[in-house]
Amino acid sequence: MSISDTMCDAINRHINAEFYSSYLYLSMSAFCDSIDLPGFAHWMRVQSREEYDHAIRLLDYVQDRDGRVALLPVEQPPIEFDSVEQVMEATLAHERHVSDLINGLYALAAQDGDFATQVMLQWFVNEQVEEEKTARDVIAALRMVQGHSDALLLLDRDMGARTAGAPAA
């Protein structure tokens, strides 16, 4: 059974949102590198790759369901931030936004009686729980080390140890 045009259009918009997420985290990585926090820069680069992979996962799903992928222009992300704390606060806000988008897709799939899409989106629902928790954990760690540059350097080193698919410190 093919995916409905309505669901296909909605997933295409979400593919764009995932590519934007990848672009946003790559921009955040460049910022962290510019303020000499290579561990945070690495963490953000891994996050960027994960978001790219999410977009490809959705792209493949649309094609598997005999839908037409329509790639949309990706908006330019911000390039300046006040601090690494602001970067992580923006990360959490963005992940909450993505959670809302995925929940909207899931609701649309339920409304359309599209069980296959609901099952596929369950992975994304679970992923977003992890993404939000990870961002909150990093923010909590940054708050604990606030004003202690030696502790920030240790946290930066921990952030640099992240591998693909692994949550933050």
**DSSP assignments along 69-131, one per residue:** ----PPPPPP---S-HHHHHHHHHHHHHHHHHHHHHHHHHHHHHT-HHHHHHHHHHHHHHHHH
CATH of the domain at 151: 1.20.1260.10
Domain range for residue 108?
Answer: 5-160
In a domain, 165, yes or no: no
> Angle at Cα 32 formed by Cα 26 and Cα 37, nearest 5°?
135
Other Cβ atoms closer than 10 A to 112: 15
Per cent of the chain over pLDDT 90 is 84
User: CA 106, 107, 108, 114 torsion: positive or negative?
Assistant: positive
Q: What pLDDT score does 163 carry?
A: 73
Q: What pLDDT score does 151 carry?
A: 85
In a domain, 123, yes or no: yes
More confident residue, 164 or 109: 109
Q: What pLDDT score does 89 carry?
A: 98
Based on the structure, what is the number of domains in the chain? Answer: 1
pLDDT at 169 over 50: no
In a domain, 90, yes or no: yes
In a domain, 42, yes or no: yes
Tell me the pLDDT of the chain averaged across its residues.
94
Residue 42: CB partners within 8 Å, gap ≥ 6? 29, 159, 160, 162
pLDDT digits (tens, 9 = 90+) for 116-150: 999 999 999 999 999 999 999 999 999 998 877 88
Q: What are phi and psi of 80, to 5 degrees?
A: -115, 140
The answer to whether 80 and 27 have CB atoms below 8 angstroms apart is no
Q: What are phi and psi of 69, to 5 degrees?
A: -75, 130
Residue in 80, 10, 31, 113 with CA at minimum distance from that of residue 18: 10
Measure Cα distances from 104 to 52, 98, 107, 121, 132 in Å: 20, 10, 5, 10, 17
pLDDT digits (tens, 9 = 90+) for 85-105: 999 999 999 999 999 999 999
In a domain, 89, yes or no: yes
DSSP state of 36: T
